[in-house]
Amino acid sequence: MSESSSLLSAFRREFNLQEEQVCQLRDAYFMEGLPLADAFEQISVTDENRILRVLSQHFGIPLLEREDYPEKPVLLEGVSMVFLRKHAVLPIQIESGKVKVVVNNPLNLPVLNLLGGYFADMKLSLCLGQREEIRTAIDRLYGTAAREAEEQSRSGEGAVLNGSAFEEDLEHLRGLAQEAPIVRLVNVLISRALDMRASDIHFEPFERSFQVRCRVDGVLFDLDQPQKSMQAAIVSRLKLMANLNIAERRLPQDGKIKLKFGNREVDIRVSTVPTIYGESIVLRLLAQEGVEYNLANLGMDGEDLAYLEQLVERPFGMILVTGPTGSGKTTTLYGVLKKLNSVVRKIITVEDPVEYQINGINQIQVKPQINLTFANALRSLVRQDPDVLLIGEIRDKETADIAIESALTGHLVLSTLHTNDAPGAITRLRDIGIESFLMADSLLTVLAQRLVRVLCPHCKEPYTAREADWNRLNEIIPDLPRSLTLCQNKGCDRCGYTGFRGRQGIFEVLKVNESVRSAIVAGKDAGSIAPIAFESGYRPLLHHGYRKVIEGITTLSEVLRVTSLS
């Protein structure tokens, strides 16, 4: 049993809580992060002393009474009294390499991490105390300045950036991060990346340099190389903007930033990881106005598009999209959802993460840290009476079982798998532990896809295909004319001198018809299923990619790059 579940069980026994109250407490305390007393007030439990006794017994932490607080203050150089009062924490004894701290909420890990940073070389020993008793002791020991500063902060004077709770406590880092040159530099880097149509910005620390790169149309380009001495300030600035704990440099963190540049709004997903030379930060730029979920614009050919549009009108069954990370699977599924999204259908998605919000669709973000996994969420969602379920990814047998059961019981299920091609999805599901007959009964189709860069229409250059190019194309698409005109990238100011602008998908569509269904039931592997499907119109990714080369949409080298062939 997880620590949170065990603690909730202890509270249930102590206060004879109903299931609804336990769920409400879990959401308020563990998910929303409300202070301990506030979380219990939501379920009408106000006996703070009993609450603390449960915590004391559960964690083996002593509970202090009013008379146990010290008569003299502990000298705390550089520690903000506002911070102590706001979070109801008070160091009460420092000796022999140990610091004893009374807290009201022993599970507030960001606060405990920050205290650990102040007393880096000392062992932290915790005691429990009532919130108002701790604050009264702070006022008595350190005067009322902390209370006045806290009230001033609440009134809006000296409000902290992005509502961060640690503004006053890391002044030395924050001051550096909020200096005008650093603020301007970070804003310029993000703005330049947006102008380049970048999907990501990478801030990468190395031994003697600090590199900033951005990913445009799936390929990384250098954006800037600030001085190494600016690394700490830039990293702190980004973490401040994302409401992350800038004192925590040892563990990965995730956050979000919402910015507006002129009329352009952008949501940014922030990920930090510690490296041997400092923290590496990646910003995923999610510009809402640049998103267009339309199946017709994905690059699918007319026959496959018509087949998919007809297929998604089925009342039940499962459609899988396969490919590596960053191959556009989610965009394809969102295009399907946009077509299906109407008042007569209830659509629910379970995603990790939810990158874009779509009106009219119920979207759920998985949270593994509180055991809200794909499988656990799906168990509840089938009781929500959905017509369409989107599962962000099938990762394990439990999720696959629920997905297939839903597809067999009147739901249209959309999901993704990480396989190299469409027939490989059959083998992958079988490896997970799904029975062949269940796959055959539930699967409607499997799509595999990649994204290729599209040649810039303003500067692409036609040329007569070389013999090596013709031979390679003719292997997949026979009977090509010997005189074949292809296009190559050149580069201009409109495409950033790359020769490419934007991306399109290349697809292979495995239609699960009777012959393919029989092969699945017979236990045939991907290598045996592909020739059977070929007779029904299945063509591999290379076939669609080479057709785009012949049409002058992309280059042969680009198709080979994304299909991992030499």
Other beta carbons less than 10 A from residue 158's beta carbon: 11
CA distances from 207 to 45, 189, 229, 235 (A): 54, 22, 12, 16
CA dist., res. 247 & res. 354, Å (int) = 27
545 Cβ neighbours under 8 A, 6+ residues apart: 450, 452, 506, 554, 559, 562, 563
Domain boundaries, the chain: 7-144, 176-287, 295-451+507-539
CATH of domain 295-451+507-539: 3.40.50.300
- Is-same-fold flag (176-287; 295-451+507-539)? no
**Which pair of tokens denotes residue 352?**
């990790």
At residue 148, the pLDDT reads: 45
At residue 446, the pLDDT reads: 95
Other beta carbons less than 10 A from residue 518's beta carbon: 12
DSSP collapsed to 3 states, 457-471: CCCCEEEECCHHHHH
CA dist., res. 368 & res. 552, Å (int) = 45
DSSP collapsed to 3 states, 353-385: CCCCCCCCCEEEECEHHHCECHHHHHHHHHHHC
**Which pair of tokens denotes residue 544?**
């669609």
Q: What is the CATH topology of the domain spanning 7-144? A: GMP Synthetase; Chain A, domain 3 (3.30.300)
Domain 176-287 has CATH 3.40.50.12160: no
Three-class secondary structure of residue 40 per DSSP: helix
User: Are 142 and 73 within 8 A, CB to CB?
Assistant: yes
CA dist., res. 420 & res. 425, Å (int) = 8
Low-confidence ranges of the chain (pLDDT < 50): 1, 145-146, 148-150, 152-170, 566
Residue (of 487, 427, 436, 419) closest to 459 by Cα position: 487
User: Are 411 and 312 within 8 A, CB to CB?
Assistant: no
CA 534 to chain CA centroid, Å, is: 37
